Chain A
Amino acid sequence: MSPEISNQSLLFLVVFVLVPLTLSYYYQLGLSKGIMWSSIRGTIQLFAIGYLLTYLFDLPAYIGIPFMLTIMITVASFHARKKGKGLPSVLGIIFIGLIVIEGSVLGLWLLFDMIEFTPNEVIPMSGMVIGNSMIAMGLALERLKSEFKENEGRLTAALSLGAEPKQASQIIIQRTLGASLIPNVDKLKTIGLVQLPGMMTGLILGGVSPIMAIKYQLVISLSIFSAVSLSAIYITLMMYKYFYNNKMQLKHMEFDQ
C-alpha cells in the first residue's frame, strides 16, 4: 500500500496552481480569476463528493446505489441537454437513454459477476459509464445539429427526390455516428501504450497488482466503449426526426436569400 497523502502534503498542491497563475499573470492572459476559481471549486467539489461517498458507502446498497445513480443521471442529463439546445424533448430522451444504458451495463456486470452490488464498486464504475455516455450524447447532438445545418441543401435535394426523412438523413446519421465512434475505437487501440488509464493508475497506486488492475480496467474500458457507442446511436436515431415536421419538411428553414 502506498503512503497516505497527508493534509500537509496536500497543501503543497498550491504550487501546481501557482505555475499557471504566474504564467497567466506574466503573459497577461486574463485567466487568473478563472484559474483561482476553478481550482477552489474543483477542490471543494472533490472533498464534498469524497465525504458524500464515504457516507453513501456506509448506507445499505439498495438505498445508496439508486440514490447516487439518480443524482448522477440527472446531472448528466441536464449537462448533455445544453448541447441539444433548441431540440424538443431532448432532456427526457437523454434521461431515459442514460437510465437504460446504465441499467443494462450494470445488469451485465452483476450477471457475469464482474463486480459486487456494493456502493463502493457500483458508484465509481457507474460514474465512469454515465459520464462517458453523457459526453458521447452531447457530442452526437452537437454534430447532428451542425450536419443538418451544413447539409440543408442536400437534405432538401433528397426530400425533393421523394426521400422520406429517414432516407434523406442517411448520410448525416452515418457521419454523426462515425464522428462519435471513431475516437473511441482509436482510444481503445492505444490503451495502455500512450497513457495508463485513470482507473488502472488509481488501483496500482492503491496497492492492487497490475494484472488485477488491468482486469478491472478491461471491464470498465469495454463497458464504456459499448455504452458510448450505444449512447451515440441512441441519441442520433431518436433525435434526427425532430429536424423534420410530420409533412416530411425540414424545420426552421429559410428558403429565400
Chain B
Amino acid sequence: MEHNELFTFDNVKKSPLHSLNFSIKRGDNVMLFGPSGAGKSTLLHLFNRLSDPDKGSIYYLGKDLQSYSITELRKEVGLVMQAPNLFPGTVLDNLKYGPSLHGEWNSEKAEALLEAVQLPADYLDRSVDQLSGGEQQRVSLARTLANNPSVLLLDEPTSALDQHTTEEIEQVLEGLAIEQGVTLIMVTHHLDQAKRLGSRGIFLSDGEIIEEGNLADLLSNPKTEELQAFMT
C-alpha cells in the first residue's frame, strides 16, 4: 500500500526540541530553517534514527520508525552532512562503502554516480585528499546516493561552498527530486536556497515549530514576529 504520509511526528520531544507534531508527505521537499540552536540538526537526525526521541513517536510510511531495521532504514533515508566526512582512500572506496556493507555493490554503478553529481569518471581512482572542498561534497552526496535512498536528509550541505559550486549542487538535488522522486528534507540558513529547492517550509526557533506550511506562502506572508525577524 502506498502511504501518502511519509513521516508523521506525534508529540516528539528530544532536547532541545519541545513537543513536535507534523507530517511530511511523499514528494514534499521540506526546508528546515531557523536561528542557530533551534534544534534543526537534532530534528534531522531523528528521521534516520541517528538519535531517538525522548518522548513521543515517529511514523514512517504508517509504521513506527522503531519497527524498522535500523540499517535498512538508514540506507533508505540517507544523510548528507555539512562537512563531507569522506573516508580515507579513493573516491571509489567511498562510493562503494554503503552498498558493500550489504554485498550490493555493482561496479557499473560507479560512473553513473559520479555523473549524477557532475564529476568526471576518471575521478574514481583519485585519493579523496586530492579533491577540492566542492568536489569532496559532491563525492559525499554520491556516496549517499549509492544506497538509492528514497529520502535525502541534508544538513546545510552547501554552507561551506562557493556560490558557483552551491548552484551546481542545487541543480543535482533538484534533478534528484524531480526525476527520481527523492524527497528532500534539508536544513538551510539561506532563504534563497530554500525558495529554490523547497515546496514546504518548517521554521523552528528555540526547539519549537513557529510556522510551517507551503514555503512560498510562508515566506511571502510571515505571520509571527519571530519569522519576520528571521527574514530581515
Contact = CB atoms under 8 A, between A and B. Distances in A.
Chain A, interface size category, equals: 20 to 34
Contact of B85 (A153, A162, A247, A255): A153
A107 B75 CA distance: 48
Given A156-B50, A247-B49, A256-B39, A161 B85 contact: no
A163 B146 CA distance: 14
Name the residue in B42, B45, B78, B143 with the highest tally of chain A Cβ atoms < 10 Å from its Cβ.
B45
Given A255-B41, A255-B51, A256-B42, A156 B85 contact: yes
Contacts of B140: 157
Given A154-B87, A255-B42, A256-B39, A161 B143 contact: yes
Interface in B48-72: 48-52, 70-72
B98 interface: yes
Contacts of B45: 255
Contact of B81 (A153, A171, A249): A153
Contacts of B72: 162
A162 B102 contact: yes
B37 interface: yes
Interface residues of B, number: 35
Given A153-B81, A255-B45, A255-B51, A162 B39 contact: no
A119 B88 CA distance: 50
B78 A161 contact: yes
Contacts of A257: 36-37, 41
B71 A162 contact: yes
Contact of A161 (B39, B83, B144): B144
Contact of B87 (A158, A162, A164, A255): A158
A153 B101 contact: no
B92 to A, nearest CB: 15
Contacts of A209: none
Interface in A128-185: 153-154, 156-164, 167, 171
A92 B78 CA distance: 38
B48 A160 contact: yes
B74 A162 contact: yes
Contact of A248 (B70, B86, B97): B70
Contacts of A162: 71-72, 74-75, 98, 101-102, 147
A161 B75 contact: yes
Contact of A256 (B41, B50, B102): B41
Contacts of A167: 101
Contacts of B42: 255-256
B79 interface: yes
Q: Which 8 A-B pairs have the closest CB atoms?
A: A161-B98, A153-B85, A160-B79, A157-B85, A162-B75, A162-B71, A255-B41, A154-B85
Given A156-B79, A161-B101, A163-B101, 11 more contacts: A153-B81, A154-B86, A154-B87, A159-B50, A160-B50, A162-B74, A162-B147, A163-B71, A163-B97, A249-B51, A256-B40
